Amino acid sequence: MRAILILLDGLRPDLVCRMPRLAALAAAGTGFANARSVFPSETRVATSSLVTGCRPAAHGLTANTIFDAGLAPERLLKTSTVADLRLLAAGTPSPLQKPGLGEILAAAGRRFAVVSAGSPGQTFLAHPQAEALGGFRWNAADTDGAAALWLMERLGPAPAASIPNIPRLHHAVRALTTVVLPELRPDIALLWLPEPDISFHYRGLDAPETRLTLAAADAAVGQVLDWRDAQPDRADIAVLVLSDHGHVSGSLKLDLAAELRRGGFAAAAGLAPGIEVVVAPAAAPGLWLRKPTLAPTLAAFLAAQPWAGPLLVRNPGLLPSALPLACLDAAHPRSADLVLCFAGAEGLDQYGLPGHAPFDTPDVPEGGGMHGGLHRRELATVLIAEGGPFRRGATVQAACDLTDIAPTLLHLLGLRAEGMDGRILAEGWDATADMPPVTERLKLPRGFWLDMAQQGHRRYPTALTRA
């Protein structure tokens, strides 16, 4: 048994119908209709959850952008960079506080390989100890290191990053199918492709260039399937295609720190003298307070803003009316004191696609795609499994999320998944194990509701809505 994971960053499930090879794969294999991301629905958080089988409360990578006054009081830590991740690791082998697939497989004498055209930080988080454990980790931006030099010798240098990032996407697929899979024969391989996420962000969810990236991503899936189908052991190679989060259109671009300053709060991106609130821009911005007593006043100001949704709180005693991050398994010492969800809507965007929300991300234009929050279109993910033991022509109704994938793959390899939050997705091969989730609604202040799905002992957030 081997497995190939193809991650199409940011792909919304309702757009799979525009991708013929992927749609055919979904029809032939097992589709998980109620697959979800984690919170916050951000790429590096999702990467960490995928490989560790744990949510942020356990693995500790709590957001794409983190503030740590003990490590860098003057600025925010950017998890897209390996340098900041090593700073976050504070001298330990990994910034993650749970072992990932790379460590678990290495301990069992197996191999995990990561081929990525995503950010260097995303790739590092997928296999932080690759070099020390004899694993394989390559990012399209790498220019040194054994993996980069080996692939450069075989394939030449990777193309420069671009928008759309189709050339790098093609190069990563070529690296996987012509070198890594046939020569290294990893037990589990992860191919991380940056599209359609980049085009969603910078061109829009249904712009002409974005349609080209969907076609390129679909072709990439087809190339990997063609490689698998040509192998003598093809019946024992499972292919899983997934996304790490979805997207909504960014309908109102904000500068939250500037809005707070207009409200009389000293807010900035670092804890300089006189600063009261550190803000990490995002679709679900984190807020770190110099003085906890500021929380009620800050919450009252935000409650008066039409673009503000509910606040989430790390320490419930700080703001008893707010939803605790612990309800989402997202409370950790690295978490922000408060996390703001914006007031998204279910209506149609400029392309006629459902879902839009305000956001605070400096480099993404208004109208571009965004993710990170609890909107149903941000949380909904693609998960399709075909080959190996997975059922043919099946649709699973049970709820699941990214943390369920690692324990499932380890189970299929005959390995134990100890200490993981996720569950084994037995319904993927056993129809009798599939049951629809029990749903519940959590009432939040100001008319907001958080829909949850309960599957056995696990709870999955599915949508933040407003009455």
Q: For 234-253, what is each residue's pLDDT tens digit?
A: 999 999 999 999 999 999 99
Tell me: do 357 and 391 sit in the same domain.
no
Judge whether residue 286 has pLDDT over 90.
yes
Percent of the chain with pLDDT over 70: 100
Q: Distance (Å, rounded) from C-alpha 111 to C-alpha 187? A: 5
- On whether the CB atoms of residues 249 and 347 are closer than 8 A, the answer is no
Backbone angles phi, psi at 465, to 5 degrees: -130, 170
Q: With respect to residue 446, please indicate whether it lies within any of the assigned structural domains.
A: no
Asked if residue 453 belongs to a domain, the reply is: no
Residue 281 lies in a domain: yes
Longest CA span, the chain: 67
* 375-386 pLDDT tens trace: 999 999 999 999
Asked if 341 and 370 count as a contact pair (C-beta separation under 8 A), the reply is no
**Structural domain ending residue among the three candidates 367, 390, 422:** 367
| Tokens read off for 107 | 């301990």
Task: Convert the pLDDT of each residue in 33-61 to its tens digit.
Answer: 999 999 999 999 999 999 999 999 999 99
Q: What is the 3-state secondary structure (H, E, C) of 305-334?
A: CCCEEEEEECCHHHCCCCEEHHHHCCCCCC
**Residue 69 domain flag:** yes
Alpha-carbon gap, residue 385 to 420, rounded angstroms: 21
Q: How do beta strands 323-324 and 308-313 pair? A: parallel
Tens of pLDDT, residue by residue over 249-281, are 999 999 999 999 999 999 999 999 999 999 999
Of 346, 367, 388, the one marking the end of a domain is 367
Asked if residue 454 belongs to a domain, the reply is no
Strand partners of residue 30: 385, 394
Residue 467, pLDDT > 90, answer no
Q: Where are the beta strands (DSSP E) in 23-69?
A: 30-36, 65-66
Token reading at 92: 């330990």
Are residues 160 and 97 part of one domain?
A: yes
- Distance CA(220)–CA(236), nearest Å, equals 21
Domains of the chain: total: 2
Closest CA to 78 of 42, 41, 116: 42
H helices present in 181-232, as ranges: 197-203, 208-229
Position 450 in a domain: no
- Tell me the CATH number at 17: 3.40.720.10
Average pLDDT, whole number, for the chain? 98
In the chain, helix, strand, coil percent, each to 5?
Answer: 35, 25, 40
Identify the helix (H) or strand (E) that includes residue 48.
Answer: helix 43-52
> Is 451 domain-assigned?
no
DSSP string, 236-275: GEEEEEE-S---EEEEEE--HHHHHHHTT--EESS--TT-
Count of C-beta atoms within a 10 Å radius of residue 445: 13
To the question of pTM greater than 0.85 for the whole model, the response is yes
Q: Residues 141, 228: one domain?
A: yes
Structure confidence at residue 366 as a pLDDT band (50, 70, 90): very high
Q: Rounding to the nearest 10 degrees, give the CA dihedral for residues 288, 289, 295, 301.
A: -80
Whether 362 and 384 share a structural domain:
no
Residue 413 CA, chain-centre distance (Å), reads 24
User: Is residue 66 domain-shared with residue 203, that is, in the same domain?
Assistant: yes
Pair (294, 409) in one structural domain: no
Do residues 349 and 411 share a domain?
no
Distance CA 408, CA 431 (A): 15
From CA 363, how far away is CA 357, in angstroms rounded? 16
Phi, psi of 31 (to 5 degrees): -105, 140
HSE-CB at 431 with a 13 A cutoff on CA atoms is 6
Interstrand relation of 286-289 and 323-324 (parallel, antiparallel or unpaired): unpaired
**Residues ≥6 apart with Cβ < 8 Å to 83:** none
261/397 same-domain check? no
Q: What is the CATH number of the domain that holds 344?
A: 3.30.1360
306 and 186 part of one domain: no
Q: What is the pLDDT of residue 296?
A: 98
Q: Are residues 268 and 223 part of one domain?
A: no
- Note whether 321 and 313 are within 8 A (CB): no
Q: CA 100, 101, 104 angle in degrees (round to 5)?
A: 90
| C-alpha span between 39 and 190 (Å, rounded) | 22
- Domain, as residue range, for 347: 250-367
In a domain, 359, yes or no: yes
Q: Per-residue confidence at 426, pLDDT binned at 50, 70, 90?
A: very high
The tally of CA atoms less than 13 A away on the side-chain side of residue 295 is 24
* Cα 70–chain centre separation: 26
Separation between Cα atoms, residue 355 and residue 367, nearest integer Å = 12
Tell me: do 179 and 257 sit in the same domain. Answer: no
The average pLDDT across 304-319 equals: 98
User: How confident is the model at residue 140, as a pLDDT?
Assistant: 98
Same domain flag for 297 and 205? no
Query: pLDDT tens-digit profile of 68-123?
Result: 999 999 999 999 999 999 999 999 999 999 999 999 999 999 999 999 999 999 99
Q: What is the Cα 88 distance to its own chain's centre? A: 19
How remote is the C-alpha of 269 from its chain's centroid? Answer: 23
Q: State whether residue 177 is helix, strand or coil.
A: helix
Based on DSSP, count helices (H) and strands (E) in the chain, helices before strands.
15, 23
